Structure 1
Amino acid sequence: MDRLIYTAMTGAKHILEQQATTAHNLANATTTGFKAQIDSFRAVPVLGDGMPTRAFVVDATVGTDYKSGTLQQTGRDLDIAVQGEGWIAVQRTDGSEGYTRNGDLKINENGQLQTATGLNIMGDGGPISIPPDSTITIAKDGTISTVSKLATPSQTTIIGRIKLVNPPAASLKRADDGVFVTSNGQAAPLDPNVTVASGTLESSNVNVVETMVNMISLARQFEMQMKMLENAQNNAGKADQLFSMNG
């Protein structure tokens, strides 16, 4: 009886946790450059006194779906999308380096090139600053060129290059702030083979239909676990009645 309760109880608990992950993926179906999180269930034996005859269910985070999203033309100078494999290096709030595929860039009031969420874009020598009153062009290799709107004749000036990296997928993990970091905390080296497309954004790789079907499936699994607990309670009640009659 206790084995049934352990399995159903932990199954219901971790189904809710996986449902939360699925809902998070669905909520980011329109987030630029978002990569879906993948979870799965696994059985773990309960260790303690006696034989390990009981088991409980655990929702394990398998990893991330790194497949590319669809590239969408925007025509905006500050929009870039990584073509194929690779990442854009950013400076996190704690000063460490993180990586994102969200190329929806902006320039803050201090002239620093940032992501839409306010993280500084990293260049070869650190964060990139854009001169005021300039027209910006981002080349395929991440080189940033500016043309002053005030100077006549206008002259093109190269001010830096966006750091583009391509660390192994197995060495990356998702941080709490939504960007990815290396497992050992070390900065990934610049990869000259990574290229970007200007005036383009990468959509989320979340499959909305597949995610909705998964949510419905998890809801039904939760109901099944609840019915198993009800059956365990009914069985216990019937057993008590039999013991009372025998007494």
Structure 2
Amino acid sequence: MIKALYNGMTGMAAQMQKMDVTGNNIANLDTIGYKCQTASFNELLRQQVTAQGMPVVPDAAAQSNQGGGAKISSINRSFSQGNMISTGRDLDLAIEGDGFFKLTRADGEVFYTRDGSFKLDSDGKIKSSEGYVLLDNELPAGFTDLVIDETGLVTCKDREGNKQEIGQIELAVFPRPELLEASGNNMFKQSDASGEPETITPGDNNPNRILQSYLEGSNVDLVLEVQSLIEGQRSFQLNAKSINTADQMWSIANNLQK
């Protein structure tokens, strides 16, 4: 009965974590560039239990396996492509394919994101909403016809109407992007497990490209998330019922009279 209580407790704790992950996915259904997460389970330590001369067991050395419950082994992030959303805004960019925009904070720390909603600062630099720099080159005062093509090349026209090439937006591609370290605000940092990033030019002998005036929506599938939430709730209820049953059996055993 103690084992049943422990198994039920670990199962409830694991399902609570799973529902937290699912709830976070649903809450970010409309978050630009958000990548959904999934929880993976592991069985806890299995033990060999030897029957000590039970009458129903002919062999006193008979053994059986008993599990020790379950736990969340890892929370994985899927970087599958989200839907493209047309915005009509020149500084909204979406990545079609693999890769991340590389952002640099004022102190030099580097972050990576799929959220392409950028803006201009007072100096004419393209930055993220948090103020991290995407392109260090400055756009000229009074520019017009800002174009960022599929290869990430940034051009515009100056006040005299002359076309100017401002700079090149490159993408960072990781060997294992699912192992990047999340740092909040839809941004990630390189980790030892993610590997070193490779800097590529979009469309340069690779299928990745940048789309101007588009944003990438989240890759959350609401139907699958609701299904996962229902499964988590049912599993939680089942584990709670097992604890209740074990408690009732324990109460009966304690109240038995000779």
Q: Which of 42, 57, 68 is residue 55 of structure 1 equivalent to?
A: 68
Normalising by structure 2, we get a TM-score of 0.81
| Kept in 2: contact 1:73–1:199 (CA 8 A) | yes
Query: Distance between the aligned counterparts of 1:189 and 1:100, measured in 2?
Result: 15
Query: Distance between the aligned counterparts of 2:67 and 2:179, measured in 1?
Result: 35
- The change in CA–CA distance for 1:182 and 1:133 in structure 2 (over 3 A counts) is same
| Kept in 1: contact 2:183–2:189 (CA 8 A) | no
In structure 2, the residue matched to 1:197 is 211
Q: Which of 101, 113, 117 is residue 104 of structure 1 equivalent to?
A: 117
In structure 1, the residue matched to 2:171 is 164
Which structure 2 residues correspond to residues 112-127 of structure 1 after superposition, within 5 A? 112-121=125-134, 123=135, 127=136
1:72 shift after superposition: 2.1
Query: Distance between the aligned counterparts of 1:75 and 1:65, measured in 2?
Result: 28
CA-atom RMSD in angstroms? 2.6
1:54 shift after superposition: 5.4
Normalising by structure 1, we get a TM-score of 0.84
**Structure 1: stretches of 5+ with no match in the other structure:** none
Query: Distance between the aligned counterparts of 2:138 and 2:27, measured in 1?
Result: 33
The alignment-based identity, stated in percent, is 27
1:95 shift after superposition: 3.2
1:59 shift after superposition: 1.2
Listed one character per residue, the Cα deviations across residues 153-203 of structure 1 (whole Å, up to 9, x for unaligned) are 311222221121222235742413232333228762311233201111111
- The change in CA–CA distance for 1:117 and 1:30 in structure 2 (over 3 A counts) is farther
| Kept in 1: contact 2:175–2:195 (CA 8 A) | no
In structure 2, the residue matched to 1:91 is 104
- The change in CA–CA distance for 1:147 and 1:71 in structure 2 (over 3 A counts) is same
In structure 2, the residue matched to 1:5 is 5
SS across alignment from 1:175: strand
| Kept in 1: contact 2:103–2:110 (CA 8 A) | yes
Query: Distance between the aligned counterparts of 2:71 and 2:99, measured in 1?
Result: 32
1:132 shift after superposition: 3.5
Structure with larger Rg: 2
Query: Distance between the aligned counterparts of 1:238 and 1:165, measured in 2?
Result: 63
Query: Distance between the aligned counterparts of 2:106 and 2:66, measured in 1?
Result: 47
| Kept in 2: contact 1:31–1:204 (CA 8 A) | yes
